[in-house]
Structure 1
Amino acid sequence: MASVAQFLRSKASQTVWSIEASASVYDAIAIMAHRQVGALIVAHEGRIAGIVTERDYARKIVLMDRSSRNTPVRDIMSTAVRYVGPEQTTEECMAIMTGHRIRYLPVIAAGQVIGMVSIGDLIKSQMSEQEHTIQQLEHYIHGNSSQSAHGGMQAGRWQV
């Protein structure tokens, strides 16, 4: 498995979007829609105060019949932010996300957010790795099959 640092380098966009805790939930959702992301880091006085996701919006605004224009992000954000470092593996990220039932993990190095990993990103990466492994196995099998068709195998042994 790749490290988070390697994974982040392979992402098309490495920008991490944020919003102030005092901003309205409406503004947060507008940024998410415009930037096509599902989560924002929430900042307060230049520090990470939490994370706000589309799930927070659905559960804490829509289902509670609150106004997104009149509710500040601080009222719906998650303050217990789980995060990873760049040296951790994508496998560790999957375990954290699955274990805590979360979809986004900020990546923090030297106290700074340097990236964001989503469960969708990790699944896509894992599928790509599996596809590569399958192609390698198929190449290996077809390579060996062509040897046996051309006399590469004699008396149950591979000819070296």
Structure 2
Amino acid sequence: MAKGAEAFRSIGEVAGMIGVAPHVLRYWETQFSALKPMKRPDGRRYYRPADVDLAAGICVLLRDEGLTIRGAVRQIAVDRGQAVRARGVALLERRLQPAGAETRPDRTPTWLARLTALADHLQRMSPADARWPAAQPTAFRLARAMLRLS
């Protein structure tokens, strides 16, 4: 029987959900003060849904976006981790979505909107406005290619 969305999760379950080893989660607890699972008297950790979302968001920051731990700590401090939790929710939705399932329009990732805005901005930008003029065509092609994939 599957657990509900609001159920507490063990460290092994959370590690499996986000794709890291349990020892990585224990290390993150020492580095990120916002990540505080409940601990039973026997030492077992239980992650609340908000903790699971934050751990997944930390995974996105460190692995997908390439931030350092210090950079991720700063990112969490900006809004007490709300944006990081949102990234974590998106990661969990992608990981837990059945293979071959179609994405519902109301769950379209925010990166699609960001890429559209980037492509529009790059299209309006003149070469004199760009910091690195040589990178502009590459960024524009990348943004357009990503939009075609969605």
- TM-score, normalisation: structure 1: 0.22
User: Which one has the largest radius of gyration?
Assistant: 1
Highest RCO, 1 vs 2 (Cα 8 Å, sep ≥ 6): 1
Structure with higher strand content: 1
Structure with higher helix content: 2
